[in-house]
Amino acid sequence: MAVNEHLIVGVEKHSIAHKLHIRKGDFLVSVNGEKIRDIFDYRFLIEDEYIDLEIRRANGKLVTFEIEKDFGDDLGLEFDSSLMDDYRSCSNKCIFCFIDQMPPGMRETLYFKDDDSRLSFLQGNYVTLTNMKEEDIRRIIRYRMEPINISVHATDKDLRCRMLNNRFAGDVLRYIDMLHEAGILMNGQIVLCKEINDGEMLDKTISDLSKYAPVMESVSVVPVGLTKYRDGLHPMEPFDKNDAIKIIKQIENWQKKIYNEHGIHFIHASDELYLLAGMDLPEEGRYDGYLQLENGVGMLRLLEREFHDELSRAQTDGDEISGRHLTVATGRLSAPYVKQLADDFVNLYGGRIDVIEIKNNFFGEMITVSGLICGCDLKEQLAGKDFGDELLLPVNMFRSGEEYFLDDVTKDELEKFLNVKIKIVPRDGADLFGAFAGRDFTDYRRQNYEQADSGDSWQA
């Protein structure tokens, strides 16, 4: 196969390609005379009503099809990769990288570091821009690949180079100017590291990024996640309660200033910072539409609202619901909120719902999200418990589309070990209510530190 020729692995029945007798095993060579680099080239070029499609048959023969179709109609071709290209791995050596803090011996995909702008558009992943050239930025602008999610961390060029261990990390910040001038929507992320990019440097970063509002729609501030596997890595200390209070006050002061200038709150502290500070979460209106859920910003507030919306609907519609004895296992971050919602349900419908907070012994106690809980910790901490009718687990504990945990313990294995039926609960607060009410779920997904779709609400 020649460079930029793409193997066709399937053809949808009754599609345009099927009617043209394009077959599995043929290769896509070009569209309108242009070589196809990836899915974005392909999708952009096949939009037109009139296209020339060049195909190389499995026997090597080149065939060109002149196609007339409705604008936007798909051709029905399937390729062996959703990107039609290899994933771009990260060229940085960030001092805070979570993947560098993984123990050895886990599945290979958990060690892959992506830094691919196309995954930012397709899946919401954050990219540092260090793997990109101006040509890549121009493609983003041409194809309107927005929003683009950018891991900024610091706008001081020298500091950013040190944090990412990449001498080009400061220079590529000019790409944000290009995206801003073209009106490409962006979101930003700051992984906050104690005595490195906090304090005055955080003020500088927020001030610099706020100049891009409202094209840059939001920026999250998330405390660095520190596992117990940090031997030989850059020394770091966790934030304490007083640190978190100071950071939140700093961010909320910026929110007021930016809201007065641009009508959005723009900069947001993660739920984890509020819990660490012992402060109430912001009211819903301050989240600007929950643009940073994948970074744990507003997940718990949205969980509460979705749950109570569904509870109100069930009461209004007169749904017949009987309380049961259930158990929920989740991470330290979300456990108190899930417990409150469980109490709200039991107060109305009866029954008993136990919420068990799982301590992360595998990665270390400073890791509090449910998505990083492993099967071994569930086995150890749930053994011998009375679960009642079911044990409920959030979908983000499991690999995308599968039923096994980060340490490859399977759902079936855990069920047999604990002697209980496990229900995997998808997505949001309405789903959590549905699980309490005894509804079935057939579609679930997860988002974790692997390539996957984004997750929601109670899976913090």
- 289 and 311 together in one domain: no
Give me the pLDDT at residue 438, please: 92
DSSP percent split of the chain into helix, strand, coil, nearest 5 = 35, 15, 45
Decide: 358 and 369 in contact? Cβ < 8 Å: no
Angle at 267 between CA 214 and CA 333, to 5 degrees: 140
* Pairing outcome for strands 325-331 and 352-358: parallel
| Omega of the bond leading into 104 within 30 degrees of 0 (cis) | no
Give me the pLDDT at residue 86, please: 65
- 279 and 224 together in one domain: yes
Does some domain include residue 85?
no
Does some domain include residue 312?
yes
Does some domain include residue 362?
yes
Give me the pLDDT at residue 453, please: 31
Query: Domain residues for 52?
Result: 6-79
- 45 and 10 together in one domain: yes
CATH number of the domain within which 12 lies: 2.30.42.10
Q: How far is CA 366 from the centre of its chain?
A: 20
As for how many domains the chain has, the answer is 3
- 277 and 307 together in one domain: no
- 275 and 188 together in one domain: yes
- 158 and 228 together in one domain: yes
- 12 and 116 together in one domain: no
| Domain final position from 295, 310, 331 | 295
Does some domain include residue 24?
yes
Q: Find the length of the chain.
A: 460
Q: Give the whole-angstrom CA distance, residue 294 versus residue 274.
A: 16
DSSP E strands: which ranges in 22-159? 27-31, 34-35, 50-56, 62-68, 77-79, 148-151
Provide the residue-wise pLDDT of the chain in tens; the chain has 460 residues. 455 789 999 999 999 999 999 999 999 999 999 888 887 788 888 988 999 999 999 899 999 999 999 988 999 999 887 666 666 667 778 999 888 888 888 777 665 555 554 554 455 578 888 888 898 899 889 888 889 999 999 999 999 999 999 999 999 899 999 999 999 999 999 999 999 999 999 999 999 999 999 999 999 999 999 999 999 999 999 999 999 999 999 999 999 999 999 999 999 999 999 999 999 999 999 999 999 998 899 999 999 999 999 999 999 999 999 999 999 999 998 999 999 999 999 999 999 999 999 999 999 999 998 989 999 999 999 999 999 999 999 988 988 778 989 899 999 999 999 999 999 998 789 999 999 999 886 543 333 333 333 333 344 5
- 154 and 75 together in one domain: no
| Omega of the bond leading into 214 within 30 degrees of 0 (cis) | yes
Does some domain include residue 306?
yes
Which class for 11: exposed (0-12), middle (13-18), buried (19 or more C-beta within 10 A)? buried
- 288 and 307 together in one domain: no
Q: How far is CA 160 from CA 38, 142, 164, in A?
A: 30, 28, 6
| Domain final position from 253, 269, 295 | 295
pLDDT in tens, 294-343: 889 999 999 999 999 999 999 999 999 999 999 999 999 899 999 999 99
Does some domain include residue 267?
yes
| Domain final position from 295, 315, 345 | 295
Does some domain include residue 89?
no
CATH number of the domain within which 246 lies: 3.80.30
Give me the pLDDT at residue 460, please: 52
- 24 and 108 together in one domain: no
Does some domain include residue 258?
yes
The dihedral sign for the CA sequence 444, 450, 453, 457:
positive
- 176 and 231 together in one domain: yes
- 170 and 222 together in one domain: yes
Q: How far is CA 448 from CA 43, 70, 124, 281, 291, in A?
A: 28, 39, 12, 23, 18
Q: What's the token pair of residue 332? A: 């330290």
Give me the pLDDT at residue 446, please: 34
Q: Give the whole-angstrom CA distance, residue 16 versus residue 150.
A: 38
DSSP H helices in 318-364: 335-349
Q: Give the whole-angstrom CA distance, residue 457 versus residue 166.
A: 34
Give me the pLDDT at residue 191, please: 96
Cα distance between the two ends of the chain: 44
Give me the pLDDT at residue 256, please: 97
